[in-house]
Chain A
Amino acid sequence: MNFITHLLLKTMAFMFNTRPSLKKYLRTTDGWVNFSVGLKLENGKLEQSITFRNGKVSVSGKIANDTDVVMRFVNKETLKEMLKITPNEILGLILHNKMVLEGNIAYLQLFNFYLSLLLGKKHQRMLAKKIKEDAVSRKKEFDTSGHKARGREIADRNKNRLRGVRTDEYVRYLEDPYLSEYSINNFPRIKKFLDDHFTIKPEICTERPRLLTQWYRKNGFESDAEGKLWQPELRAALAYRYLMENRKPIIHCNDLIAGTSTSKEPTGVIIYPDAQGTMIWGELGSVDKRVLNPYTISKEDTFVLHDILTFWTKRNFREYVRDKYCNPLCLSIDERWVYYFVWKSVGISHTIPDFPKVLNKGINGIMEEIDTRLSDKKNTEANIISLTAMKISLEGVLAYAKNLSSEASVLASSEQNQVRKKELEMLAKICAKVPAEPSETLDEALNALWITWVALHMENTNTGLSIGRLDQWLQPYFVKDMEKISTETEKRNYIAHAIELVACFFMRGTDHLPLVPDIGNYLFGGSSSDQAITLGGVTPEGKDGVNDMTYIILKVTEMLSIRDPNVNARFNIEKNSDTYLKRLCEVNYITVATPSMHSDENVAASLAPHGYKIEDVRDWAATGCVEPTLCGRHMGHTGSILMNMVAALEMALNNGSHPSMDWNLGPSTGSIEKGSFTTFEEFYSAYTAQQKFLIDRAVELNNMLAEAHTVLRPTPLLSSLINGSIEKGIDVTKGGAMYNTSGSSNIGLADVTDSLMVIKKLVFDDKIISFTELKKAVDTNFTGDPKILALVQNRVPLFGSGNSESLALANRITEFIHGCYNHHTNYRGGKYTAGFWSMSQHVAYGSLSGALPSGRRAGKAFTPGLTPQPSASKNFLDNIMDVARLNPQHMDNNIAFNVKLMPGLAGKREDTIDAMCSYVKTYFQQGGMQMQFNVVTSEVLKDAMAHPENYRNLLVRISGYNAYFVTLNRDMQIELIERTGYGI
């Protein structure tokens, strides 16, 4: 085997040494690409390395100490497998513990890229074959007859829409707030946008990294052209301004809102090479043919991107930590993926900027504020730099807006269609005015918002940056515009215009996607940017927050039924109306899965211990998935840690070792086989010790990566738009915001609670089986003992069954976890918060985990968020009550409680919606924080698996975010099908 590997590597070296078409990739703008890759077997019987140095490739039978990355294969079968798989699957080997990577992962990606240059055509053929096979197997497994009727059922929900009546105090102009008379057919412009969205493949865009890298290559990254060390914020701001001045100002065809996130239309994939950008390197040859979520990329762009990425191989957050802290344990744990995921390797994002400030003051107003601040004599050198950097970044935004205005004028002058010509002329005027000056009309406000949004994404990774309380931000402009209108006809026309404008804004939001390597399709299935919008609730003064724009945005949500922006709704029992609640439920019914619903009172209760001012708490909005951020003044990084609670349990069951990872990682807490546990409390202590160990490591890593951000990519633009930063003269990455926290999400609460209940009841309380017997059954995935499996599944009350003991245990666990995080302080001096939602990790972690005492079989998904097991109770109301009675104060980063409702074909629309209203209201009254629906039958989902082409717009809610069902990986689709459905 060693010899064969040596030969293959030598062949590769030969090809690269002799063929000009390959040789050209050995050199980039910075010079020769120099690096080395090692391959070895666990048992030491194989050792080879390949070195690329100064344009020459050589192979050796030894791996030197300074090899950049080493692939350690578990056995020779896996090494053989490497030759048979496509590049997107290589990271999958790591995921399944078949290969361990030592060193810089970007170099593995580079190596894969070179491999793909050799095997490109082969890979493409393999992928094409996979796609075909996948389609055939799906049809075989899931095809059911009568699919046309079921597919129609969802489309039919759009008929017979309910009519609303104006009852909310601050709804001024909509007599039918449900806007039932409108459908997408009234808006042909939007219909075309929607069609493009579902038809045209997204494309990788190199504009952002190209312009930035250009600037850095000319002006230096660590030090400037004179060799002086750069101050990171100044460097970031100058490069940013350059990017904004030089990026292409595009006005999407026929749009009412100017500006695009990338140079590719309708959807571009944005690249952040300092974050996860290098992760796509290895797939550049195959990404357009991969099964899930392919991206187009031109051959030219492939070379350009390769050239760019070589600049960043060491200049990314992950490598900074590896280098500075000498490959710390907490980083190694993160790179095995099953224990936790620390999001800062991808970005911080997850916050909500102060949009009202941009709308009310304009960028010029903000710059004046900075100038005033700069004149303060007490400023330190650092303050001056931070504030100057903010100003420079804002200049970039102004430059971009100006360019858009010019572009609009140019387009207008050559536009033949008179209607469109007028629209372009108006856009030219608007972009000349906003966001520089305060906005005065709805058109201006939405353009200002969008331009600012694009600007923010040019600085910061597009994962979880959220829009906030759009209805509150826009209402004053809607009212202002309406007040200028006198006739009823004009009012009606304006309302239609407002709907269309907001729809344009939503569709603008779909113009970009985060860069997801194929492994991400597996771990974060189907997610887009998750730009959360939050409606309703109360105003900072405590008044009813539901207004005209709330309903207009809901109408757009219903008409478009797209996955992102991620629409969330706050419902305040005291102040918000049943009219509003009913409409929320109707929109969920029509779209299947959106908006997600939050209890205002209970989320506020969860935040109470933080001591925030009440006006600030009232201004909370969902971020990314569900987490609360106090709009415009709070850096919460609410998605910073995704923790696998089940990993801690598995480690407790195995004395610190994780069974799937074969790694003796955690503390020694006792062995079941050796009889270490004589009481339940002793085992519970083992679980908590392992959990604390993992939490402590994750926090360590998060704090290290936070430091990396301050060095590599501080965010002066974002800082200028978050309250506190200008005042303090400090970048948000360093703690400039008024409020600072870091949010965690802890996955697997129901599975852990249920497993511990089984151990407590069957082993220790009732003594029906011994711990050793139970462990043996778990280790054999219950195949050896069906009797134990049956006992475990039928004789123990689960979380969600209404049993007070299991509820108490769940509360005990959330309290413990919250307590663990509460002990820590984050890099910016703030607290850590604990959430219980799961993104799609419940499927990913589930697939990597073994069987559990609860009876869950190996590889099966956990329940989403903290949703109880399907088997917990036949009575859905028991589930609702148990979740509602979890203590909000242990869950200050919110939760996700998933409910799948299955409307009968004969079910009457209004009855279904009324039942939904009742579930939500009572759940909130009983203390529940968040609830989200999927109103769809398993039959429809199965049909969508067999015939995805008929369901391209079928929306589902995973755990906090929306996705198109047909873009999900198979495991996630099956989880959704098997999720308990409650018939209505």
Chain B
Amino acid sequence: MKEETLILEIKGNSLEDGPGIRTVVFLKGCPLACIWCHNPEGRKPGPEISFDKTKCIGCSSCVDICPSGAISDSHRFFVDRKKCTLCFLCVDACPSTALESVGQVMTVATIAEKVLRDKPFFDSSGGGITLSGGEPALHMEFTSALLKIFKQHKIHTLIETCGHFNYDKFTALILPFIDVIYYDLKLFDEKEHKKYCGTSNTFILDNFIKLTNIADNAAWRILPRIPLVPGITDRENNLNALADFLQHKAKQVSLLHYNPLWLGKNSKIGIDYELSCSKKMKQWINPERIKFYESIFEKKGIKVVSK
């Protein structure tokens, strides 16, 4: 049975996911498993339960209603995912939304209706719709259907992708309806990529090369983005390798500054985060270092931009 595409969130008024004021649609599911993932609830394509301790008022309505006895104060993550059958009765019963289901089924029409409400702001700011997640290209047909509708309404479209997808399908289903591609590159070394992101980066690098080969004459533009994760992607040898790779293929790059705001997310979905409480991970990026990272790319003739 084909899995339904689940939507994590539709976030309006974003100034960070592309030019102008944008609405971002986050799709659930990703082929990668980066250990620093800022949206860990987007990794699995299927439905999940999230529990936010800070919202819990201790009424125990969930404990009373759970048919599988999966909820208990004594459990580390409150909900024992091994016992949970994802019936979501507890979510319905929770008065404070401490328990929430992660990922909603939404039709293309429903999503479009929500997004279109913000269209006047796209028009006045040069903004539009951004598809993100998870990995939007994981659900190629659904994403394509969405993009088609947005294009019918003359909305500017942008996709944030990790690059791990079937190239032919991407060309056929996404490229005709896309204005901007934000293409994330993390680690150049294949071994490292496997270690930290869960798969090889061969597809990712190949796809990027193919896209940049046809970019000059395309209706769309592509911008490579590199997340600066402390001690992992921000290592000098990685950045140098990526700069070499990008030279002659891209004129611009965007460097994503690290922030520690994701650290609480994993426990909400019942996962131990694999990164032990590294001190580096808890800090905001040092502004001085940013200049240094930028110089690595500028030396190779690649301009560092923000969008």
Which A residues are within 8 Å of any B CB, using their own CB?
A: 786-791, 793-795, 802, 874-878, 881, 906, 908, 911, 914-915, 917-919, 921-922, 925-926, 982, 984
Interface flags for B126-160 (1: CB within 8 Å of A; 0: not) read: 01000000000000000000000000000000000
Pairwise interchain contact B95-A790, C-beta atoms closer than 8 A: yes
Query: Which residues on A sit within 8 Å (CB–CB) of B257?
Result: 906
Q: Which one of A906, A908, A915 contacts B21 once the chains associate, using CB atoms below 8 Å?
A: A915
A129 to B111, CA, bound (A): 60
Q: Which one of B11, B20, B125, B127 contacts A875 once the chains associate, using CB atoms below 8 Å?
A: B11
Tell me if B171 counts as interface (CB < 8 A to partner A).
no
A-B contact list, 18 entries, CB within 8 Å = A786-B58, A788-B95, A790-B59, A790-B96, A794-B95, A794-B96, A875-B13, A876-B13, A877-B12, A877-B118, A878-B117, A914-B125, A918-B125, A919-B121, A922-B125, A925-B120, A926-B120, A984-B15
A915 to B121, CA, bound (A): 9
Greatest chain B CB density within 10 A among A911, A922, A925, A926 is at: A922
Pairwise interchain contact B117-A918, C-beta atoms closer than 8 A: no
Q: Which one of A793, A878, A918 contacts B12 once the chains associate, using CB atoms below 8 Å?
A: A878
Output the nearest chain A residue to B95 by Cβ-Cβ distance.
A790
A908 to B287, CA, bound (A): 14
Output the nearest chain B residue to A793 by Cβ-Cβ distance.
B96
Query: Which residues on A sit within 8 Å (CB–CB) of B20?
Result: 914, 918
Pairwise interchain contact A922-B120, C-beta atoms closer than 8 A: yes
Tell me if B306 counts as interface (CB < 8 A to partner A).
yes
Query: Which residues on A sit within 8 Å (CB–CB) of B120?
Result: 922, 925-926
Shortest B101–chain A CB gap in Å is 14
Majority SS at the chain A contact face: helix
Tell me if B124 counts as interface (CB < 8 A to partner A).
yes
Query: Which residues on B sit within 8 Å (CB–CB) of A881?
Result: 117
> Number of B interface residues, CB 8 Å?
24
Output the nearest chain A residue to B118 by Cβ-Cβ distance.
A877
Q: Which one of B59, B95, B117 contacts A802 once the chains associate, using CB atoms below 8 Å?
A: B117
Tell me if B57 counts as interface (CB < 8 A to partner A).
yes
Greatest chain B CB density within 10 A among A908, A914, A982 is at: A914
Query: Which residues on B sit within 8 Å (CB–CB) of A875?
Result: 11-13, 118
Query: Which residues on B sit within 8 Å (CB–CB) of A984?
Result: 15
User: Which B84-131 residues have a C-beta within 8 angstroms of A?
Assistant: 95-97, 117-118, 120-121, 123-125, 127
Output the nearest chain A residue to B121 by Cβ-Cβ distance.
A922
Pairwise interchain contact A787-B57, C-beta atoms closer than 8 A: yes
Q: Which one of A786, A874, A877 contacts B121 once the chains associate, using CB atoms below 8 Å?
A: A877
Pairwise interchain contact B11-A786, C-beta atoms closer than 8 A: no
Pairwise interchain contact B15-A787, C-beta atoms closer than 8 A: no
Shortest B143–chain A CB gap in Å is 22
Output the nearest chain B residue to A578 by Cβ-Cβ distance.
B124
Pairwise interchain contact A915-B125, C-beta atoms closer than 8 A: yes
Q: Which one of B11, B117, B118, B125 contacts A874 once the chains associate, using CB atoms below 8 Å?
A: B11
Output the nearest chain B residue to A982 by Cβ-Cβ distance.
B13
Query: Which residues on B sit within 8 Å (CB–CB) of A922?
Result: 120-121, 123-125
Query: Which residues on A sit within 8 Å (CB–CB) of B11?
Result: 874-875
A786 to B58, CA, bound (A): 9
Query: Which residues on B sit within 8 Å (CB–CB) of A914?
Result: 20, 125
Majority SS at the chain B contact face: loop
| A-B pairs, 3 with minimum CB distance | A875-B12, A790-B96, A918-B125
A789 to B61, CA, bound (A): 15
Query: Which residues on B sit within 8 Å (CB–CB) of A786?
Result: 57-59
A911 to B20, CA, bound (A): 8
Query: Which residues on B sit within 8 Å (CB–CB) of A876?
Result: 12-13
Query: Which residues on A sit within 8 Å (CB–CB) of B306?
Result: 908, 911
Query: Which residues on A sit within 8 Å (CB–CB) of B117?
Result: 802, 877-878, 881
A914 to B287, CA, bound (A): 24
A881 to B257, CA, bound (A): 32
Query: Which residues on A sit within 8 Å (CB–CB) of B118?
Result: 875, 877
Query: Which residues on B sit within 8 Å (CB–CB) of A788?
Result: 95
Shortest B104–chain A CB gap in Å is 15
Shortest A584–chain B CB gap in Å is 15
A909 to B185, CA, bound (A): 28
Shortest A854–chain B CB gap in Å is 15
Query: Which residues on A sit within 8 Å (CB–CB) of B127?
Result: 918
Q: Which one of A791, A793, A911, A926 contacts B15 once the chains associate, using CB atoms below 8 Å?
A: A911
Query: Which residues on A sit within 8 Å (CB–CB) of B96?
Result: 790, 793-794
Q: Which one of B57, B121, B125 contacts A790 once the chains associate, using CB atoms below 8 Å?
A: B57
Pairwise interchain contact B59-A918, C-beta atoms closer than 8 A: no
Output the nearest chain A residue to B127 by Cβ-Cβ distance.
A918
Pairwise interchain contact B57-A918, C-beta atoms closer than 8 A: no
Output the nearest chain A residue to B290 by Cβ-Cβ distance.
A906
Pairwise interchain contact B124-A925, C-beta atoms closer than 8 A: yes
A875 to B127, CA, bound (A): 15
Shortest B1–chain A CB gap in Å is 33
Interface flags for B272-300 (1: CB within 8 Å of A; 0: not) read: 00000000000000010000000000000
User: Which B174-213 residues have a C-beta within 8 angstroms of A?
Assistant: none
A795 to B92, CA, bound (A): 11
User: Which B1-15 residues have a C-beta within 8 angstroms of A?
Assistant: 11-13, 15
Shortest B62–chain A CB gap in Å is 12
Since A875-B12, A875-B118 are in contact, a sample of 17 more A-B pairs with Cβ atoms closer than 8 Å, ordered by chain A residue number, is A787-B57, A787-B61, A787-B95, A790-B59, A790-B96, A790-B97, A874-B12, A876-B12, A911-B15, A914-B20, A915-B125, A917-B125, A918-B125, A919-B21, A922-B124, A922-B125, A926-B120
Shortest A486–chain B CB gap in Å is 43
Query: Which residues on A sit within 8 Å (CB–CB) of B58?
Result: 786
A794 to B95, CA, bound (A): 7
Query: Which residues on B sit within 8 Å (CB–CB) of A793?
Result: 96
Shortest B94–chain A CB gap in Å is 8
User: Which B25-71 residues have a C-beta within 8 angstroms of A?
Assistant: 57-59, 61
Shortest B56–chain A CB gap in Å is 9
Query: Which residues on A sit within 8 Å (CB–CB) of B95?
Result: 787-788, 790-791, 794-795
Shortest B249–chain A CB gap in Å is 26
Pairwise interchain contact A787-B59, C-beta atoms closer than 8 A: yes
Output the nearest chain B residue to A792 by Cβ-Cβ distance.
B95
A917 to B124, CA, bound (A): 8
A874 to B114, CA, bound (A): 14
Query: Which residues on B sit within 8 Å (CB–CB) of A926?
Result: 120
A875 to B14, CA, bound (A): 9
Query: Which residues on A sit within 8 Å (CB–CB) of B61?
Result: 787
A786 to B95, CA, bound (A): 9
A795 to B257, CA, bound (A): 36
Shortest B228–chain A CB gap in Å is 13
Shortest B25–chain A CB gap in Å is 13
Shortest A907–chain B CB gap in Å is 8
Output the nearest chain B residue to A786 by Cβ-Cβ distance.
B57
A156 to B125, CA, bound (A): 25
Shortest B147–chain A CB gap in Å is 21
Query: Which residues on A sit within 8 Å (CB–CB) of B121?
Result: 877, 918-919, 922
Output the nearest chain A residue to B257 by Cβ-Cβ distance.
A906
A876 to B21, CA, bound (A): 11
Q: Which one of A794, A917, A919 contacts B97 once the chains associate, using CB atoms below 8 Å?
A: A794
Greatest chain A CB density within 10 A among B121, B127, B257 is at: B121
A339 to B127, CA, bound (A): 45
Shortest B118–chain A CB gap in Å is 5
A911 to B97, CA, bound (A): 35
A317 to B123, CA, bound (A): 54
Shortest B122–chain A CB gap in Å is 9
Query: Which residues on B sit within 8 Å (CB–CB) of A918?
Result: 20-21, 121, 124-125, 127
Query: Which residues on A sit within 8 Å (CB–CB) of B15?
Result: 911, 915, 984
Output the nearest chain B residue to A880 by Cβ-Cβ distance.
B121
Output the nearest chain B residue to A912 by Cβ-Cβ distance.
B15
Shortest A724–chain B CB gap in Å is 41
Query: Which residues on B sit within 8 Å (CB–CB) of A906?
Result: 257, 287
Output the nearest chain A residue to B97 by Cβ-Cβ distance.
A794
Greatest chain A CB density within 10 A among B12, B13, B97 is at: B13
Query: Which residues on A sit within 8 Å (CB–CB) of B123?
Result: 922
Query: Which residues on B sit within 8 Å (CB–CB) of A874?
Result: 11-12
